[in-house]
């Protein structure tokens, strides 16, 4: 987080990442600041407007407490309260069709909120399920994409241009036409995910 004149500040991009809000929502709130009390920027970081982090957080919390029904929690709040990485929570949400993840109870722009009691009950039940997949099971790149909560097309390039920390395949199987299938240990993919979480 940058500082200006000794104050911690956040750019719009940092606010988007920190609170899961969309750019259009933040821009709308800023345009309507005369009526909603949105803080004024305190300067710029590079070419981006920047807001005093504490002032903006106080304003946002007050707005949120007016708008969001009680008993709801954001992904970041669930991560903090349950000791789960944000990446893992995104992964669970991406796999909701197969794991029964509860639907969001409320949406404010792109920010999602879950009924915390319902989510906690679901998460506890999930943790008690017997593991169906072993850590030494071999997975394809498509499986790795699912485990990481990424689009399949985004990991297909990893075989040729691996990102830092990407594991070596445990086995390479020849396919027709000179192609190969790379298989990775599930534990190696999970370790890579944990290193990015």
pLDDT beyond 80 at 135: no
pLDDT digits (tens, 9 = 90+) for 151-175: 777 788 888 888 889 999 999 888 8
**Model pLDDT for residues 80-120, shown as the tens digit of each residue:** 888 888 788 888 888 887 788 999 998 876 778 899 999 99
Residues 6+ apart with CB under 8 A from 163: none
Is 148 within 8 Å of 189 (Cβ atoms)? yes
Question: Starting from the edge strand earliest in sequence, which strands make up the sheet with 106-108, in order?
Answer: 72-73, 111-115, 106-108
């Amino acid at each position: 987080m940058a500082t200006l004149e000794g104050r911690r500040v956040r750019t719009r991009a940092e606010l988007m990442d920190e609170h899961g809000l969309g750019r259009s929502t933040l821009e709308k709130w800023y345009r309507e600041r005369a009526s909603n009390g949105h803080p004024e920027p305190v300067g710029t970081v590079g070419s981006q407007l920047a807001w005093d982090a504490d002032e903006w957080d106080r304003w946002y919390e007050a707005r949120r407490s007016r708008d969001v029904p009680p008993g709801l929690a954001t992904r970041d709040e669930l991560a903090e309260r349950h000791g789960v990485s944000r990446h893992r929570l995104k992964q669970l949400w991406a796999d909701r069709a197969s794991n029964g993840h509860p639907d969001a109870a409320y949406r404010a722009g792109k920010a999602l909120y879950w009924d915390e009691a319902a989510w906690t009950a679901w998460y506890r039940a999930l943790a008690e399920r017997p593991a169906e997949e072993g850590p030494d099971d071999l997975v394809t790149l498509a499986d790795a994409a699912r485990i990481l909560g990424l689009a399949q097309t985004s990991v297909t390039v990893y075989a040729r241009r691996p990102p830092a920390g990407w594991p070596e395949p445990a086995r390479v199987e020849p396919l027709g036409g000179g192609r190969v299938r790379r298989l990775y240990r599930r534990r190696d993919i999970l370790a890579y995910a944990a290193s990015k979480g």
